[in-house]
A and B are shown apart, each in its own frame.
Chain A
């Protein structure tokens, strides 16, 4: 167990989470903070990969009839860009915050199931590597992140591309579901005394709702993927029209997952923003109860709007009406959130620190994405918008202008807590302005070029249709946007090399995580706090009449923590091995799969009977 010296001033970076260090300690870790950092680092790597794919896409579309990449490779690029950004970047960056912050925000020492948490991460890593390894075989998925049947059938996609996708997503689904169970239970069972549900920080609330969405939505995509897998590997005809199957079935299954997935991507950012705005306005969140229920309402409605992705399939006027109106309905709780955020800032004393820049830009950009979303709900005109760059503009305003701005705000906000170093304010603001300008230059013209008739997912376009100037501008914007993350990386490196330690509470925070040292010690809270209100730290500071003293780093003697374990890694390897075995089925028969299952069972068995320590 850790024996950190009291009041120690300079840590070696690896010593920040107790004395354990070295590669093995990271592989076997069950500490939610370390797992959070693993999630974050891996997801950021994939974010850069996905960003690079986007830059190549933009370079290819810079001019009409361009030949920078082949159509085959282009289709792989946009498929992997979408798949990567959704499953390997935004979701796991959110997972980083779930992991690192939820226990701290609710006053817990770890998550409910620490080893399951490690398992989730290793499965996620395996899934990400599995998917991307397809590039090594020149067979990256090329059917779009939505994988519409029957293009995905063996007949029309005979290569390994779709196999990598359908199996890779199944691996990632296991990781997401395991994590969702874990955080669902953590939030319900691990809260500190006095932390009632309606006292939970808004980020915890939004994360909690996200876990419910994950638990309900991922089984649906898993079923769809398994049916597709059977179609491709074992000759069933669930989605094959020539065998009596129905490609429309795929669309319904996919979007019953796919639309809640949108909220899975955005709700954590909603939560982050709801933490940052009050702190930097020095004023509590406006309309806490309305915020909780609007979030829940959005999530609930999110399951009843999936077919607005399918207006162009011709579902008939009754279905169109239902899904159009249900979609419009979502604008109401979303509007409530936006107004409450503005209400939070209104009358405050705004501190313009980097996290606040990103948080405010989040609101501004999300309004744009929300309004174009309402435009989609106008079903008859959605027939013009759907599958054009107008939609690409819309969902990037929601998922980049929304999720990524929100997650970046969160990164700047919680960086000092996570790593014990402050990020540079000047570089942070340079990053912000480049990102804001680059983002809008990239995605705003897409609204116009989409309405002017440019479809999505085309590897090139013809001259004479009026698409050139907008596309040139978008490419310039994308390069600026890409560069803004170079500035962020410089900022991170600078912070890592800085000797300056971050204080426990650099922003005058309101929530429990700011009451403990930066970075937190392995056991988080030397003494589990008791909570009496919604902004416990502000309350404590008010009672004291000033800032709290810097919390001491203490010896964790006597605090029980779960032991490190490598069985989650073994089990994760077994699961990935099963999928690799399935890929190799035509080559080596079932032996690969049998080996994978054996390793999985071996891992789970030993995990189950591992002594608690």
Chain B
């Protein structure tokens, strides 16, 4: 097939269509791409996104110019049979100097804002920032709020409009903390503290994911960041501070039951309006999880008591704490103090439905082969009781 052949002409007519299709596939809004770096919702991500936009503009300019020159040359200087030997040019110093200097200038135009941004992003947040200690585990995330003496897992709550300063480490191997809409990645290491910061601009539920290969289940080491208005965040903190073994024992008291309902309502409100409705997109499991956020069994339900006994006897307590406030450090498994209210389980990879939670408790290895949590030989009925018990922890 020669470049001038009909087949090529047909192809070249198709090419713009393919490009258009690709662009159409890429230019969805943030609702279609909730984990996208192209839709910043935090100051850090916005800063780097602006820098990226500048770079892409220059790159597009260079791309069109150079690819254009190449294509032009290919079509313009096509040899025909019988053509004489073209002029034998070995180079041209002037031209060569020009095309060394121009790229250098373009790079300088990119380098200046880059260096500025490097120093800007390396700033250490002030004292008014909310410090969160992040620990990466194979394959889940632990979050501690030293200011409130709170611990939670896989779902990080942050207030809108206040800088969050993350001080991070790893319990085992290297991981990387990444919530694209708020900030770039920062690797987390065993025995070394790394930091990053961001300030959420609007409330919502933002997905994040481990970005450094960390073993067999690196693919299922996600998490969520729940950004909420300061007063809601305050409410969440105050509620979390009541969660502990004592609170669990008192689950039957009416006061706690009221609190639980309020918390559930807050969770419901957090569903951001930017998302498509669940019905329109069944694959958007995030929304399905929200819509189906199961209500806890009534505190009187005997199942809860059975579940509590099982939780203590089946070995769950060996790895999981139910205490958000003043929680023990160094637990092997995620803190479960508010597991009943979380939107996802299994480190952000399964919607938190009763059915999924039951399946997970019975056979975690099926969904997440190699996960530290073993199959404990729990029966369907036992799992249901455990789910009922865990649902009261919200």
A residues apposed to B, CB below 8 Å: 64, 70-72, 74-75, 142-144, 148, 150-151, 156, 241-242, 247-248, 281-290, 312-314, 316-317, 320-321, 324-325, 328-329, 331-332, 335-336, 338-340, 342-343, 345-352, 360, 363-364, 367-368, 371-372, 374-375, 377-388, 426, 429-430, 433, 441, 444-445, 448, 451-466, 468-470, 473
Task: Collect the chain A residues with CB atoms within 8 Å of residue B185's CB.
Answer: 312, 383-384, 386-387
Known contacts A242-B190, A348-B79, A465-B35; A383/B48 CB under 8 A: yes
Say which residue of A144, A363, A430 sits within 8 Å of B1 (CB atoms).
Answer: A430
Query: Are the C-beta atoms of B63 and A461 separated by less than 8 Å?
Result: no
Q: Do the beta carbons of B283 and A468 come within 8 Å of each other?
A: yes
* In the assembled complex, B245 has its CB within 8 A of some CB on chain A: no
Contact A290 B213 (CB under 8 A): no
Q: Is B190 touching A150 in the complex (CB atoms < 8 A)?
A: yes
**CB atoms of A151 and B173 under 8 A apart:** yes
Q: Indicate whether A360 sits within 8 Å of B85 (C-beta atoms), given known contacts A72-B369, A346-B77, A457-B218.
A: no
Q: CA A473 – CA B88 in complex, angstroms?
A: 45
- Scan B88-116; emit 1 where CB is below 8 A from any A CB, else 0: 11111001100110011001001100110
Contact present for A384 and B180 (CB under 8 Å): yes
Contact of A464 among B78, B172, B281 (CB under 8 A): B281
Does the CB pair A71–B85 fall under 8 Å? no
Contact present for A317 and B122 (CB under 8 Å) = yes
What band does the interface of chain B fall in when counting residues whose beta carbon is under 8 Å from A? Answer: 35 or more
Question: Chain A CB within 10 Å — which of B2, B191, B284 has the most?
Answer: B191
Please, which residue of chain A has its CB at the minimum distance from the CB of B99?
A339
Contacting residues of chain B (168-213) with chain A, CB-CB under 8 angstroms: 172-174, 176, 178, 180, 183-187, 189-192, 194-196, 207, 209-213
- Report which of B84, B96, B172, B219 forms a contact with A156, defined as CB distance below 8 A: B172
Q: How far is the CA of A312 from the CA of B48 in the complex (A)?
A: 13
Q: Interface-forming stretch among B21-29, B300-308, B319-327?
A: B21-29
Q: Which of B180, B196, B213 contacts A151 (CB 8 A)?
A: B213
Contact B86 A150 (CB under 8 A): no
Closest to A450 in B: B37
Q: Does B250 contact A (CB under 8 A)?
A: no
Distance (Å) between the CB of B376 and the closest chain A CB?
Answer: 21
Contact B110 A374 (CB under 8 A): yes
B231 contacts partner chain A, Cβ-Cβ < 8 Å: no
CB distance from A295 to the nearest CB of B (A): 14
| Smallest CB gap from B79: residue in A | A349
B115 contacts which of A247, A321, A335, A429 (Cβ < 8 Å)? A321
Out of A342, A430, A461, which one reaches B219, CB within 8 Å? Answer: A461
Contact A349 B83 (CB under 8 A): yes
Inter-chain contact A451/B63, CB cutoff 8 Å: no
Q: How many angstroms between the C-alpha atoms of A466 and B35 in the bound complex?
A: 8
Smallest CB–CB gap between B95 and chain A, Å? 7
A336 lies within 8 A of B26 (CB):
no
Q: How far is the CA of A372 from the CA of B62 in the complex (A)?
A: 12
Roughly how many angstroms separate A247 CA and B172 CA in the complex, as a whole number? 11
Contacts of B1 in A (CB 8 A): 426, 429-430, 433
B66 and A342 contacting across the interface, CB-CB below 8 Å: yes
Chain B residue numbers with a CB within 8 Å of A347 are: 77, 86-87, 89
Shortest 7 CB-CB contacts between residues of A and residues of B: A383-B184, A453-B35, A349-B79, A458-B219, A464-B284, A384-B37, A448-B26
Roughly how many angstroms separate A477 CA and B99 CA in the complex, as a whole number?
A: 35
Which residues in B have their C-beta under 8 angstroms from that of A364?
Answer: 67, 70
Residues of A within 8 A of B219 (CB): 71, 74, 457-461
Residues of A within 8 A of B281 (CB): 464
How many Å lie between the Cα of A347 and that of B35 in the bound state? 48
Known contacts A348-B77, A374-B55: does B216 contact A384 (CB below 8 Å)? no
In contact, B183 and A383 (Cβ under 8 angstroms)? yes
20 contacts between A and B (CB under 8 A): A282-B79, A287-B91, A287-B92, A289-B91, A314-B195, A325-B115, A328-B107, A346-B73, A350-B77, A352-B78, A364-B67, A374-B55, A375-B56, A381-B48, A383-B184, A384-B48, A429-B1, A456-B213, A462-B207, A470-B26
Contact between chains at B89 and A283 (CB < 8 Å): yes
Q: Which residues of B contact A452 (CB under 8 A)?
A: 26, 33, 35-38
CA distance A194 to B285 in the complex (A): 71
**A286 interface neighbour in B56, B89, B176, Cβ under 8 Å:** B89
What chain A residues lie within 8 Å of B103 (beta carbons)?
A: 331-332, 335
Number of residue pairs spanning A and B whose beta carbons lie under 8 angstroms apart: 315
Q: Which among A316, A448, A470 has the highest number of chain B CB atoms within 10 Å?
A: A448
Q: Are A320 and B26 in contact (CB under 8 A)?
A: no
- Do B89 and A284 touch (CB < 8 A)? yes
Q: Given the complex of chains A and B, what is the CA–CA distance between A383 and B194 in angstroms?
A: 14
Q: Is there contact, CB below 8 Å, between A445 and B25?
A: yes
What is the chain B residue whose CB lies nearest that of A345? B73
- In the bound complex, residues from chain B placing their C-beta under 8 Å from that of A336 are 96, 99-100
CB distance from B174 to the nearest CB of A (A): 6
Cα-based distance from A69 to B279 in the complex (angstroms): 31
Cα-based distance from A346 to B118 in the complex (angstroms) = 40
Contact A465 B114 (CB under 8 A): no
Tell me if B370 counts as interface (CB < 8 A to partner A): yes
Distance of A568 from chain B, by nearest CB (Å):
38
Taking Cβ atoms with an 8 Å cutoff, the residues of B that contact A are: 1-3, 11, 18, 22, 25-26, 28, 32-38, 45, 47-49, 51-52, 55-56, 59, 62-63, 66-67, 69-70, 73-74, 77-80, 83-92, 95-96, 99-100, 103-104, 107, 110-111, 114-115, 117-122, 138, 172-174, 176, 178, 180, 183-187, 189-192, 194-196, 207, 209-220, 222, 281, 283-287, 348-349, 369-370
CA distance A356 to B122 in the complex (A): 48
Tell whether A316 pairs with B33 under 8 Å between CB atoms, given A247-B190, A352-B3, A360-B70: no
- Least CB distance from B137 to A in Å reads 12
Question: For B119, what are the chain A residues with a Cβ–Cβ distance below 8 Å?
Answer: 317, 321
State whether A465 touches B111 (Cβ < 8 A): no
Contact of B283 among A64, A142, A346, A448 (CB under 8 A): A64
Q: Tell me if A371 and B190 are in contact (CB < 8 A).
A: no
A342 surroundings in chain B (CB, below 8 A) = 66, 69-70, 73
A324: B residues at CB distance < 8 A: 111, 114-115, 118
Which residues on A sit within 8 Å (CB–CB) of B63? Answer: 367-368, 371
Nearest neighbor of A469 in chain B, beta-carbon distance: B25
- With A349-B77, A367-B67, A375-B52 known as contacts, the answer to whether A380 contacts B114 (CB < 8 A) is yes
Task: Give Cα A468 to B11, complex, Å.
Answer: 26
Given the known inter-chain contacts A336-B96, A380-B121, please indicate yes or no for A387 contacting B174, CB distance below 8 A. no
Shortest Cβ gap from B113 to chain A (Å) = 8
Bound complex: CA A85 to CA B49 (Å): 33
Q: Is the CB of A462 within 8 A of B100?
A: no
Residue of A nearest to B76 (CB): A346
Q: How far is the CA of A368 from the CA of B215 in the complex (A)?
A: 32
Q: Hey, which chain A residues are within 8 Å of B195, CB to CB?
A: 314
Given contacts A387-B212, A444-B22, A453-B33, contact A381 B52 (CB under 8 A): yes
Q: Which of A385, A441, A465 is packed against the most chain B CB atoms within 10 Å?
A: A465
Would B74 and A457 count as touching, CB distance under 8 A? no
Contact partners of B59 in chain A: CB under 8 A = 371-372, 374-375
Distance A386 CA – B177 CA, assembled complex (angstroms) = 12
What separation, in Å, do the CA atoms of A465 and B195 have in the docked complex?
Answer: 26
Q: For B115, B195, B286, which residue has the most chain A Cβ atoms within 10 angstroms?
A: B115
Tell me whether A332 and B184 are in contact in the complex, defined as CB-CB below 8 angstroms, given that A348-B86, A375-B59 are known contacts. Answer: no
What is the CA–CA distance of A418 and B177 in the complex, to the nearest angstrom?
51
B190 lies within 8 A of A241 (CB): yes
CB distance from B199 to the nearest CB of A (A): 16
B81 to chain A, nearest CB (A): 10
Residues of B contacting A325 in the complex (Cβ-Cβ under 8 angstroms): 111, 115
Minimum CB–CB distance from A352 to chain B (whole Å) comes to 6
CB of B302, distance to nearest CB on chain A (Å)? 36
Complex: A280 Cα to B207 Cα, angstroms? 52
Q: What residues of B have a CB within 8 angstroms of the CB of A461 in the complex?
A: 219
Residues of B within 8 A of A241 (CB): 189-192
Q: How far is the CB of A355 from the nearest CB of chain B, in Å? A: 14
B73 touches A458 (CB 8 A): no
